[in-house]
Each structure stands twice: as C-alpha cells, then as structure tokens.
Amino acid sequence: MRNGEKWTVQTLARALRGGKCSARELTLACLKRIEACEPEVHAFLTVTREKALTAADRIDARLAAGEELPLLAGIPMAIKDNICTKGVRTTCASRMLENFIPPYDADAAERLHQAGAVLLGKLNMDEFAMGSDTGTSAFGPTANPLDVSRVPGGSSGGSAAAVAAGEAVFALGSDTGGSVRQPAALCGVVGLRPTYGRISRYGLTGFAPSLDQIGLVTRDVPDCAAVLAAVAGFDPRDATSSRVPVDDYLTGIGEGVRGMRAALVRESLEESSPGVRRELLRAAARLETLGARVDELSLPFLRDMLPAYHILSSAEASSNLARFDGIRYGFSATDAADWQERIRESRSRGFGREVKRRILLGTFVLTKEQYGPCYEKARRLKGKTLASLRTALSYYDFLLLPTSPEVAWKREEKRDPVAMYRSDLFVVPASIAGLPALSVPFGMDQGLPVGMQLVGRAFGEKELFRAAHALEEGKA
C-alpha cells in the first residue's frame, strides 16, 4: 500500500466529501497497514481499533446527514504516548506509567476530537521523551520504516515512523529539544515545533516545561498547516499558552519565497556529514533560484547550546519526575519492607537508565553548589540565544540549517549517550529560544532522506509554511 503514503489530509478530506470513500474505509485501511507494519516498525504502544471504528462511523453518519464538518473530520491519526487521552492508556513509554489511564484529554487531543479526527492509538517514544532514537522506550524500540535496521530518530520516533509508514495520516508528537523535527527528518516526513505557547501544553506530561511544546508530524507542509490551525490556540488551563490569534495558515501557502531573506547557519556546514552538507547547499541554491536571498550567518554559541539545553531540561525533569513514586500508578515495588523503601525501589526499577541519568544530572545542577555555575549559567545562555536569534530574525525571515547532522543511523552505531546528545545539535537552539522550527524533507544521502530545518520568528508559522512548501514543491 505504498500509495497510502501519498494520502494527505487535503486529498482525503475531498475524497470523503465526494463520496469516494468513507471514514470507516480510511480507518480500516490504516488499521490494516498497522497490522502489516507493526511487527517490524513498532510505532504503536496502543491501538484503539474499536474506538477508532466507532468514531469513524459517527463521522460517516454526520457526513451522510449533510453536515458541514471541519477539514480533519474522519482523518485517521495517532498521538504520542506522553499526551493524555481520556480513557486511553498514556504510558510515556515507561514502566512507571504502564497502567495510567488519564481521566482527561490534553487540550490538543480534545481539539482534534472536536475536529472529528479519528484516533487510531498511542505512539511509541523514548521513555519520558528522553532520547534521540526511540531506543529508551520501556516497551521496545521503534524502527525506521524506510530501513528497519535503522533508527527512526526520537523521541517522537513512533509519530514519525507511523506517518512515514502510512499507518496514520498525521501524528502529534512533542518537541523539547528537537524530538519532533529530528525523527521527522530521519523518516522523511514533515515535522513542526510551533512557537512556545502556540499549542497548549495542558495534558502533555511534563519533561522540561520551559522547553516542552507539542509538535506535528505530517506528510507534507500544507497538512502541517491544516493540523496546526486545528490544534493551536489559547487555553486558560495553560498559563504559558499564548493569546496571539491563530493565523489562517493555508491561505497563501503557495505564494513562494520571492523577496524572502534566509540565513544559512555557517556552523551547521562544519558540523554536518558530507552528504547532509551537500543537500544544505543545494537547498540554499534552490531557495535562491526561487527568488529568495540567502546569506551565510555565524551563530558562534551554537555549540554551547547543547550543554545548556541538557542542564535546563534535566533540572526541570528531575523535579517533574519526582512525583512518580510507585504508589499512585505504574510500576510499584510491592515486595519492599516499608514505604520509603518501596518508593526507592519503585524508582530504581521503574525508570530506565537514560531517565535515571537525567534525574541525577538535574538533581546535581540544582544543588546549592552547582546552581550558579551550571543552572544559572545555562539560563543566562538561554537569554543570550534568544536575544541573538531575535536580532538575526529581525533582518532574516528564517534561518536555514539541517535538522540532523546526519541521516538515520543503524541502532548499534550509537551507544554512547554523549554521541547521541550530539545528534540534537541543530535542533536545540530553536527549542531554547522558543521559536517555531520546521523540518521538511529535502534530498537524499546514502539512499536515506535528509531534513532541512527552517527556524522562524515567534508566531511566524505562516511564513515558515510558505518557505518550506516552496522547498518541498521545488524538490526533485
């Protein structure tokens, strides 16, 4: 069913309304695809087959009754397993939340539900979104559907793999330090991290709240625009959600890049593999051909961003994950002698290695002794990043750099955690600055897709979509 990959929100919405197919048929097709791919890909942790079919039937009935429904009505999709779904198990790919069934929907999940999108199930990820290859999941890794011996990236590896494999038309992920963009790049699909505050974080299990954003994985840029329009918006339940009005992202998406100014980040040339560097230069040339101006720009602090990111995110994670004590939900060391030991044992056995590493790191950088030299220094760097990216973006419409320094690697190639952290070098700056960034497939290297990253102004998603769509249309 390779043609499934060509299915986009736009074409399927038209087909549904034209009576060419039903929501039930679409859902069944996805479920069939899931059945076929899952043994090798393992993108899903939970498949909600019956719920999905019931929801699809409801949409079919409403369409048959001639009701005007939102664009996403009847479109099958899936959600990363750290985003709460009412009545559907939400595990964060951790033993600690293995049996957690939220009594509430995340704001984004609720909006998709309102729009009539059909939930197929919950997607695999690195445990508590900590990782870059979906290898730290307590329930086994996800494989890259383009080459199952390779990683799909992470932490939203399940989201990217599901969309790339045609198991879902689009997916929600979360992006703390590149977790949507990097897997999208490695799986050859579109990944968006919107501006911090654009999509409510209500119901997203916190990893590092000052950096966490719900993101989208779609098959093309217009789909991304359509889904963002459905899930974005102010939510009174999230104090960091923004009141900036949501744009009409689809209108004018095909207007091209003529007159736009792009800054190619010089350091990303040096840090990329030869193949990725070649595609980056080709993308710059393509933008110029299409009428944009591309300059080289140096961001000398780029390399400092990675340690700053790990300090800030681990500090917040150590606090956010302290509540998982094995008493209220998830794994519990029931063989412990007393309650203190039970908590200690539950956490020692219930969390995986990477999560424990980050909890330890975060606890360390927040001690009285390390707060100044680590945490505070990282926060100052965050301020500096924001200021210098703002300055750059006051002149340039967007920054251009690869999403990942290299294409998808084989799982056994990266065992060292620091080598793994380095794969996030290009995605971390936008996270730290809270700016919107989009990864769009552009070109191939060693037969695997390369993702180009566009970083835009705060709440400038519309311009990002326009530029990314031009690159997407113009690709060979």
**Which residues of this protein are in contact with other proteins, per CB under 8 A?**
82-84, 90, 92, 97, 100, 102-104, 106, 201-206, 208-210, 236-240, 315-316, 318-319, 322-323, 325, 327-328, 339, 343, 363, 366-368, 371, 375
Q: Do residues 97 and 329 lie in contact, with contact meaning Cβ atoms separated by under 8 Å?
A: yes
Minimum CB–partner distance for residue 464 and other proteins (Å): 25
Q: Which residues pair with 401 in a beta bridge?
A: 453
Q: Which residue's CB is nearer to other proteins, number 269 or number 343?
A: 343
What are the distances in angstroms from CA 201 to CA 166, 237, 272, 289, 424? 27, 9, 32, 39, 22
CA dist., res. 181 & res. 456, Å (int):
14
Q: Which residue's CB is nearer to other proteins, number 343 or number 386?
A: 343
What are the distances in angstroms from CA 273 to CA 87, 248, 404? 44, 37, 9
Q: Which residue's CB is nearer to other proteins, number 124 or number 205?
A: 205
Q: Let me know if 414 is a catalytic residue.
A: no
Q: Which residue's CB is nearer to other proteins, number 178 or number 434?
A: 434
Q: Which residue's CB is nearer to other proteins, number 381 or number 420?
A: 381
Q: Let me know if 122 is a catalytic residue.
A: no
Q: Do residues 297 and 261 lie in contact, with contact meaning Cβ atoms separated by under 8 Å?
A: no
How far does Cα 217 stand from its chain's mean position? 6
Minimum CB–partner distance for residue 135 and other proteins (Å): 22
Minimum CB–partner distance for residue 209 and other proteins (Å): 4
What are the distances in angstroms from CA 161 to CA 93, 125, 143, 184, 190? 16, 10, 7, 8, 11
The one catalytic residue in 94, 132, 155, 404 is: 155
Which residue, among 312, 318, 258, has the nearest Cα to 434 in the 3D structure?
312
Q: Do residues 120 and 31 lie in contact, with contact meaning Cβ atoms separated by under 8 Å?
A: yes
Minimum CB–partner distance for residue 193 and other proteins (Å): 17
Minimum CB–partner distance for residue 431 and other proteins (Å): 13
Q: Let me know if 462 is a catalytic residue.
A: no
The one catalytic residue in 156, 179, 268, 318 is: 179
Sheet of 76-80: strands edge to edge?
A: 44-47, 118-123, 76-80, 170-175, 213-218, 190-193, 437-445, 448-455, 398-402, 261-265, 293-297
- Active-site residue list: 80, 155, 179
